[in-house]
Structure 1
Amino acid sequence: MHKNLKAILTSIGITLCITCTSACGTSPSAITEPSVETNSPKYADSLLEMAQQTLDQNKDTMNDTQREIIERAIQNDGKISDADYERAWQSYNQCIVNKGYNPQPLTQIEGIYLDGVYMPANKADDALQQKFESDLWSCTTENNREVQHLYSISKGNPNLIAGDAAAVDCLHRNNLVPKNYTLKEFTQEKEQYDNIHAESEDPASLATAQKAANSLSFDLNDNTTKLCLVANNAQYFFDNIRPQWQPFK
């Protein structure tokens, strides 16, 4: 994948489950007692403060729809409604279509959207590729980037921890990893997970996926684990189930 495009897609941050209901088992937002990872940097002291910061810092790059969603969230203790979350994603995909591309296929994990995996087209020369990347960034920034971030955090990061430590905190709070499991171990397991796929002769096979999943200390099939990961920007563990997207008509 083109380096710049990979950065764009990573910044979108998306997740999945056909309904926006809570995960089975203990909800990550129900227990807020800090874990050993809460000495990590935080986005803000409260979700409301984070929503206000988002508006103050990004109001000039958001379109009216996204800005109004953030403003409504501020009136709701920083929480974005499910209806507004859907509205932001509809606005994003309409932007994609308006710029002449096929709509991006979406899926959900525990109510959080995951975008489709971009499939390069043979006819996409450098100029066309650069235009696509620019259009994608524009649609994301204007329509749903801030909504995606704030909504995801509200679902699985009550302590508002920044970085991968948020996923580890969520796993700890829900007793999904041993008490002595560390951020360093999470980082090492993530690298090992990626390497298993990269070194496999058939990286898309079920056998490879199972081998990679078995290398982790947490269960990727557990609904609460899924929410902990996708709500905290660790959706790369689910790349194998994201739909393929061919944007060029």
Structure 2
Amino acid sequence: MPNGAGYTKPPQNQSNGVYFAPICVSSEGLSDAQSRKLDEDIDECKDLHVSAIDLGHQTQLGNPEFYGDPEVALIDCLHRGNLMPKDYTINKYWLQFEAYMNGTKAGSVPDDWFSFDLNDSAMLTCLASDKSPLLQTRLEAWKPFG
């Protein structure tokens, strides 16, 4: 964050040096003007200190083949890391993801929705590298004013 901006230090939501994105910000109690200013400051900080290096690191770890589809890159990352068998396909992922999003798998917790271990650090690196929405439940919320 910009020096002297008056914010608390944001949590370091990352796995193996890859930041989970987007940052989870608690805007509770902020005015519209404060929220806009905070968004501008977050963007400035990312542009100055994080984006270029993080993008290169994410690409190297999660998408060295430069797939245009982040889910295809995710499946490739899982296969390259031997985190999932080769028969785990994008179609299997989409079926699990849709069930997760629609809440159709009754009686389970998020860790049980997928064929992979969402607590494994290598798995989290693949998810973070490919900006998976599955990380949203894992993000520590940042309260910029404490």
Shorter-chain TM range is 0.7 to 0.9
- Between Structure 1 and Structure 2, how many residues are aligned? 142
Contact 1:112 1:152 in 2 (8 A): yes
| Counterpart check, 1:170 vs 2:67 | no
Spell out, residue by residue over 1:108-158, the C-alpha distance to the aligned partner (whole angstroms, 9 max, x if none): 312323375211222x12222222222222221232112211112212333
Contact 1:121 1:248 in 2 (8 A): no
> Which residue type is aligned with residue 135 of structure 2?
F
> Which residue type is aligned with residue 32 of structure 2?
D
Relative contact order (alpha carbons < 8 A, sep ≥ 6): 1 or 2 greater?
2
Q: 1:1-249 maps to which residues of 2 (within 5 A)?
A: 93=1, 95=2, 97-114=3-20, 117-122=24-29, 124-162=30-68, 163-196=70-103, 211-234=109-132, 236-248=133-145
Q: 1:194 to 1:150 in 2, by over 3 A?
A: same
Q: 1:223 to 1:245 in 2, by over 3 A?
A: closer
> Which residue type is aligned with residue 180 of structure 1?
D
Give the secondary structure class of the aligned counterpart of 1:102.
coil
- Alpha-carbon shift at residue 168 of structure 1 (Å): 0.6
- Alpha-carbon shift at residue 166 of structure 1 (Å): 0.7
> Which residue type is aligned with residue 55 of structure 2?
H
Contact 1:104 1:245 in 2 (8 A): yes
Give the secondary structure class of the aligned counterpart of 2:13.
strand
Consecutive unaligned residues in structure 1, runs of 5 or more: 1-92, 201-207
Give the secondary structure class of the aligned counterpart of 2:109.
helix
Distance 1:212 1:195 in 2: 12
Distance 2:42 2:120 in 1: 32
Is the radius of gyration larger for structure 1 or structure 2?
Answer: 1
Distance 1:131 1:103 in 2: 16
Indicate the percent of aligned positions where both proteins have the same amino acid.
28
> Which residue type is aligned with residue 223 of structure 1?
S
> Which residue type is aligned with residue 175 of structure 1?
N
What's the TM-score, normalizing by structure 1?
A: 0.49
Contact 2:127 2:135 in 1 (8 A): no
Give the secondary structure class of the aligned counterpart of 1:117.
coil
Distance 1:211 1:121 in 2: 27
Consecutive unaligned residues in structure 2, runs of 5 or more: none
Distance 2:145 2:121 in 1: 34
- Alpha-carbon shift at residue 171 of structure 1 (Å): 1.3
Spell out, residue by residue over 1:82-107, the C-alpha distance to the aligned partner (whole angstroms, 9 max, x if none): xxxxxxxxxxx3x2x43332221213
Root-mean-square deviation (CA, aligned residues, Å) is 2.6
What's the TM-score, normalizing by structure 2?
A: 0.77
